[in-house]
Structure formats: structure tokens, C-alpha cells
């Protein structure tokens, strides 16, 4: 039996769970913050992005095998750069929030969707139901990230709507950045729920997978 059949201590489910936890934290921080300004939005996005970048980089060595590491590497680089840009206090403006988050969402969404499509094709050819499920999760997350970019693109950055709430006895202003930060918070909440469910979904046991690969290898040799 080759060493590639040995079960890993950390699996894709652990990456999904870690991402779900940080996404949930970002969603909670935005939801319960009365301030949805660019400074707060960028601060939350920056912390969330850097945490995710660390997860991606660690997963390169602990989770993914050789030949399947490129998506995690690319996602780690793109997310780390976005997080560092958002970590500069003087740069936390409305324009930069929309620019950084949209560009990141497009790049990360394309990378994860493409990786999921490629993995699904490989898993289908190998008849591997576990990897097929992981590919589906990657595609779903990637598409959700692309939708984040679309949602932010349609928000006018200079939008401002003043409205009055009689019960509160005061006027409020709904701005483009308030909507943008709210959209990111909604995205984080959706990702947290989806990846959390994916992480706890039943998987094929490593021993069963190993037996299946050995059987396939023996069949190839016999033919």
C-alpha cells in the first residue's frame, strides 16, 4: 500500500470548519455593530481575510496532497494581500472597501470555482464520491463569492438616503457603504452556515477509501 493511502490528521472538513468559524465571527461583528462605516467594514474584512489566508497556507502542507495544493496557495496569496490592504487604517475609505472586496471576491471566486470544477471532473472519472462532494462545496463557495462581487458592484458608492423613524424620533441616513458592509456581513453569514454544514456532513471512512483505491490498483495490474 502506498503512503498516499495513509489517512491525514487534518482533512478538508477541518479547513471548512475553520473557515466557517471565522466567517461566523465576521458576520456577528457586523450584525451587532451599530457602525457600518468603511473603517469598521475594512477592519472586519481585514481580520477575516488574514485569518482565512493563514488557514489556506496551513492547509497546503497539512491537508492537500501534492498536485492539489494550487487552489489553496492561490487563495492564500490573494486573500492575504486583500487582508493587508484593509489593515492600513488610513486607507479604510469607502472607495477602497468596495475596490478591495470586489477585486478579492472576483479573484477568489474564480479560483475556487475553477478548482471545484476541475476536482469534480477528476472525482467523477475516479468514482470518488467524497472528493465529488468536496468539489461541489468548493464550487458553491466560489459562486457565492462571485455573487458577493456582483452585489457590491450594483451598490452606488455615493448613495445616501435620509429617512425619519417616528418611533425613534430622529432621522437616519442609509449610505452606500452601509449597504456594502451589510452585504459582506450577509455573505459571511451564508458562508459560515454552508461550510459549517459541509464540515459536519458524513464522509466515507478513510479505511474504506483506502480499500477502494487498492482494489482499483489491483484491477489495473490484472488488466
**pLDDT digits over 27-85, tens only?**
999 999 989 999 999 999 999 999 999 999 999 989 988 878 999 999 999 999 999 99
Residue 1 pLDDT: 37
How does DSSP classify residue 65?
P
Q: Within the chain, which residues score under 50 in pLDDT? A: 1-6, 205-214, 216
Residue 101 lies in a domain: yes
Residue 5 lies in a domain: no
Residue 166 pLDDT: 67
Residue 114 pLDDT: 96
Structural domain containing residue 141: 10-222
pTM given for the model: 0.83
Range 188-191 contact pairs with CB under 8 angstroms and sequence separation of 24 or more: 188/23, 188/24, 188/26, 188/27, 188/30, 188/48, 189/23, 189/24, 189/27, 189/31, 190/144, 191/19, 191/20, 191/23, 191/141, 191/144
Residue 1 lies in a domain: no
Residue 5 pLDDT: 42
Contact 176, 154 (CB under 8 A): no
Residue 170, helix vs strand vs coil: strand
Residue 5, helix vs strand vs coil: helix
> Under 8 Å CB-to-CB from 13, ≥6 apart: which residues?
198, 199, 200, 201, 203
Number of domains in the chain: 1
Centre a 10 Å sphere on the Cβ of residue 219 and count the other Cβ atoms it contains.
Answer: 9
Residue 219 pLDDT: 54
Amino acid at each position: 500500500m502506498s503512503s498516499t493511502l495513509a489517512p491525514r490528521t487534518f482533512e478538508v472538513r477541518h479547513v471548512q470548519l475553520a473557515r466557517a468559524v471565522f466567517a461566523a465571527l465576521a458576520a456577528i461583528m457586523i450584525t451587532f455593530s451599530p457602525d457600518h462605516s468603511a473603517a469598521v467594514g475594512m477592519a472586519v474584512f481585514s481580520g477575516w481575510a488574514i485569518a482565512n489566508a493563514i488557514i489556506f497556507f496551513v492547509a497546503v502542507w497539512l491537508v492537500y496532497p501534492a498536485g492539489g495544493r494550487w487552489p489553496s496557495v492561490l487563495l492564500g496569496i490573494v486573500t492575504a494581500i486583500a487582508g493587508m490592504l484593509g489593515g492600513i487604517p488610513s486607507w479604510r475609505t469607502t472607495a477602497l472597501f468596495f475596490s478591495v472586496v470586489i477585486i478579492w471576491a472576483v479573484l477568489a471566486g474564480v479560483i475556487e470555482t475553477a478548482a471545484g470544477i476541475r476536482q469534480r471532473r477528476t472525482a467523477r472519472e475516479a468514482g470518488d464520491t467524497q472528493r465529488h462532494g468536496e468539489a461541489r462545496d468548493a464550487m458553491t463557495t466560489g459562486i457565492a463569492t462571485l455573487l458577493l462581487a456582483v452585489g457590491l458592484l450594483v451598490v452606488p458608492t455615493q448613495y445616501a438616503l435620509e429617512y425619519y423613524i417616528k418611533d425613534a424620533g430622529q432621522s437616519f441616513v442609509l449610505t452606500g457603504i452601509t449597504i456594502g458592509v451589510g452585504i459582506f456581513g450577509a455573505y459571511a453569514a451564508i458562508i459560515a452556515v454552508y461550510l459549517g454544514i459541509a464540515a459536519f456532513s458524513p464522509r466515507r471512512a478513510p479505511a474504506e477509501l483506502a480499500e477502494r483505491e487498492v482494489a482499483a490498483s489491483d484491477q489495473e495490474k490484472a488488466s
